[in-house]
Amino acid sequence: MTIDCFSNIAFILNDIYVAITIKVASDSIRDLCSLRMTCKAACDAGDFNIVHRSVSIPPPHATPWWWCLSPEAKRFFDRCMVAGHPELLFREALRELFIRHNENVGLQMMNSATSTGHAAAKYALTMTLLLRTDDNDEKQKGLELYRELDAAGSLADCKARCFSILTTHRLCHT
């Protein structure tokens, strides 16, 4: 063995910690916090963007109300947004589009969430393109997205998720 082989071991161990951290993060925010407190390697692994994109975000009705008051929670969710967390991008895009009436920012965020494969974001983008634009090409794109969701049997669930987010709007989201 050469010394080069030994230097790669550190990268392999780091990759293993990141993989474990992604799995834990996709199960629970609380478990992610607990894991990050176990050792420096787990704490460092928790700083990767891919971990912040993978965090399991509870549905709006199950999110503790005090999270919006906690500076630590706000920093955590802001970090997830910066990393491109699909669910948080989707929720914030809905708020931008339909609560703050900031269409350009909302559509940009919705396109980002849709590009990750987020079905409810695709539904919201579909409805926006079909109902809010006079551009025939955009309407055609909306119709194609609608057909994809219909073929996948996702329409009812996506509609319910959009409704849930828009009806559980809280002051801390404005």
Instruction: Give the model confidence (pLDDT) of 19-46 as tens digits.
Output: 999 999 999 999 999 999 998 988 999 9
**What are residue 165's phi and psi, to 5 degrees?**
-70, -40
Positive or negative, the CA dihedral 141, 93, 81, 33 is negative
CA distance 103 to 93: 9
| pLDDT computed for residue 3 by the predictor | 41
Tokens 């607990």 -> residue: 34
If you average pLDDT over every residue of the chain, what do you get? Answer: 86
Euclidean distance between CA atoms 69 and 138, whole angstroms: 39
Q: How much is the pTM?
A: 0.81
Residue type, 167: T
User: Hey, is 1 helix, strand or coil?
Assistant: coil
**Span 69-90, average pLDDT:** 92
Please give the structure tokens belonging to residue 137.
């090409």
Check pLDDT > 90 for residue 6. no
| Tens-digit pLDDT profile for residues 91-127 | 999 999 988 999 999 999 999 999 999 999 999 999 9
